[in-house]
Amino acid sequence: MSQDGRNLESVLVAMAGQIDWPEPSPQLEARVRSRIEAGATAVRRRKPGRPIGVLVVASILLLTLVVFPTTRHAIGDLLTEAGVRIGVIDELPTATPTDLSLGAEVTLAEAIEHVSFTLRIPGVPGPPDGIHLEGENAISMYWDGPILLTQRSPSRLYAEKRLVADTDLTEVTVEGGLGLWIQGAPHEFTLVDAEGDPIEVTTRLAANVLLWQTAGVDHRLELTGSLDEAMEIVDSMEMGG
Amino acid sequence: MEGRPLEENDLIERSRDGDAVAFGQLVRAHQQMAIRVAYLVVGDHAEAEDVTQDAFVKAHGALDRFRPGSPFRPWLLQIVRNEALNRVRSSKRRQRLALREGSDPVTSGAAPSPETEVVSSDERIRVLAGLDALPERYRAVLWHRFLLEMSEQETAATLGIPPGTVKSRTARGLERLRRQLGGDFG
């Protein structure tokens, strides 16, 4: 039978009545009340720390940071605003399989409650495999891949990156503003306070990183994929509350 | 919930004060939509029931953070959806939606109302498969707008996205679905 011109919206609405919807069991209300009266709460499913084996690096020797002189000033400004310092070191430590040391896992609703800014959730690559608190006013979303997106309200904390040669820094436009794409050789990442003293004992060994700031919120997107993949994630970000 | 906001606000207030019977009334009022929202994500009846139960308990624990006077249902449904997404994330699987047996008006001989589109079994299977193949951001919006028959505003509140995004994703999602279905639908 010809179906040319069938209205898809009407078909979808008609299908609503043909879905095998579940009916709440007669015991649902009683069970909820029983749990409330017993003070029970749902069990939060926590995942153990995730090794990031693909990010393991070998020791890297004395090398020089490669930054084009003409971009150094602009990058410095960006990094100051975004709460990130870049430092040049002679040698990165020999890395071993490490852990991302993510904070406590929370639900999206709890994450939204945790931060003072409007948390944004990317539609790509789909629902996060984990949402974690990152100390005061910061949330990280994790996807197996690995991909890590951190949103942080500017504070006295600085994210410090230590780079060695073969790490390329490129200025890019992200959400209409200046961003920084760091790609190439692995680089060390740690949180430091305003005086530069490390706060996190565990150092993350990041993959490629996109740094930018939108609406006063620092964003850090770490992934093993390309800049195009990073931008696809950025383009899919939406308001979370 | 139109026509009874005061009653609902009163139930919420009493629930906050520890009245489990009042919260039970909120459960009864919203459990059917809640379990459907959960089912759209997990695709399994028993799992949807568990998710709904957990979500109601969590919602009760979060009542202090509910803004009095704002719509309760989308706030609750967002908790349900998050709980369902957590469950799917843990199990790494999501089942497909199922169709009711004997629901084919073409083969069953049932007379549809004049306003109702007659959707054959083949069409439904194709459309459901097409929906399932869409990126999650489009699929979720189409599910809520058409299968749950939510307004743009309520879809936005339940999914935690701006109403404008619901509008644009609805249009893009329908366009993608039409392309997948090979031009049979306008």
Q: What is the pLDDT of residues A212-227, one digit of tens each?
A: 878 778 888 888 788 8
Instruction: Write down the H helix ranges in chain B.
Output: 5-16, 20-42, 45-61, 72-91, 105-108, 121-133, 136-142, 152-159, 163-180
Residue A176 lies in a domain: yes
A residues 198-237 near B, CB within 8 Å? 236
- A40 and B27 in contact by Cβ < 8 A? no
Residue A200 lies in a domain: yes
Distance from C-alpha of A145 to C-alpha of A10, rounded to nearest angstrom: 39
The answer to whether B28 faces chain A, any CB pair under 8 Å, is: yes
Distance from C-alpha of A164 to C-alpha of A91, rounded to nearest angstrom: 7
Residue A21 lies in a domain: no
Mutate to test the interface with A, among B21, B45, B57 (most CBs of A within 10 A): B57
Q: Average pLDDT in the A77-103 region?
A: 47
Residue A13 lies in a domain: no
Q: Average pLDDT in the A69-81 region?
A: 41
Residue A229 lies in a domain: yes
**Per-residue pLDDT reduced to its tens digit, A103-139:** 778 888 888 888 888 888 898 888 888 888 877 788 9
Least confident interval from A29-33, A137-141, A200-204, A231-235: A200-204
- A14 and B99 in contact by Cβ < 8 A? no
- A127 and B85 in contact by Cβ < 8 A? yes
B46, pLDDT greater than 80: yes
Nearest to A226 by CA among A189, A172, A163, A158: A172
- Give the number of residues written for chain B: 186
The answer to whether B36 faces chain A, any CB pair under 8 Å, is: yes
A62: number of Cβ within 10 Å: 9
- Which residue ranges make up each domain of chain B? 5-91, 107-180
A residues 21-50 near B, CB within 8 Å? 21-25, 28-33, 35-37, 40-42, 45
Give the CA distances from residue B51 to residues A11, A42, A191, B31, B61, in Å, rounded to whole numbers and listed in that order.
Answer: 29, 10, 37, 11, 15
Q: What is the pLDDT of residue B51?
A: 94
Q: Which residue of B has its CA nearest to A241?
A: B160
- B23 and A33 in contact by Cβ < 8 A? yes
Task: Calculate the CA A10 to chain-centre distance.
Answer: 39
Q: What is the pLDDT of residue A1?
A: 37
B residues 131-170 near A, CB within 8 Å? 135-137, 142, 146-149, 160-162, 165
The answer to whether B123 faces chain A, any CB pair under 8 Å, is: yes
A80, pLDDT greater than 60: no
For A100, residues 6+ apart whose C-beta sits below 8 A from its C-beta are A49, A50, A52, A142, A146, A148, A204
Residue A118 lies in a domain: yes
CATH 1.10.1740.10 holds for B5-91: yes
CATH 1.10.10.10 holds for B107-180: yes
Nearest to B143 by CA among B49, B41, B45: B41
**Per-residue pLDDT reduced to its tens digit, B69-102:** 888 999 999 889 888 887 776 665 666 677 666 5
- B53 and A28 in contact by Cβ < 8 A? yes
**Per-residue pLDDT reduced to its tens digit, A159-181:** 555 554 456 667 788 887 777 78
Number of inter-chain CB pairs under 8 A, A vs B = 167
pTM > 0.90: yes or no: no
Give the total number of structural domains in chain A. 1
- A28 and B27 in contact by Cβ < 8 A? yes
Before A125, cis peptide (omega within 30)?
Answer: yes
Facing residue for B79 by CB, picked from A18, A109, A239: A109
Facing residue for B98 by CB, picked from A9, A20, A127: A20
- B149 and A13 in contact by Cβ < 8 A? yes
Residue numbers in A near B149 (CB within 8 A):
13, 16
Q: What is the pLDDT of residue A72?
A: 38
Q: Contact at 8 Å (CB) between A183 and A167?
A: yes
Residue A3 lies in a domain: no
For A221, residues 6+ apart whose C-beta sits below 8 A from its C-beta are A147, A148, A149, A150, A209, A210, A211, A230, A233, A234
Between residues A27 and A71, the one the model is more confident about: A27
For A131, residues 6+ apart whose C-beta sits below 8 A from its C-beta are A105, A106, A107, A108, A110, A111, A139, A140, A141, A142
Facing residue for B82 by CB, picked from A16, A108, A123: A108
Least confident interval from A45-49, A131-135, A210-214, B14-18: A45-49
Domain limits for position A193: 53-239
Q: Which residue of A has its CA nearest to B46?
A: A22
Residue numbers in B near A144 (CB within 8 A):
none
Residue A130 lies in a domain: yes
- A45 and B90 in contact by Cβ < 8 A? yes
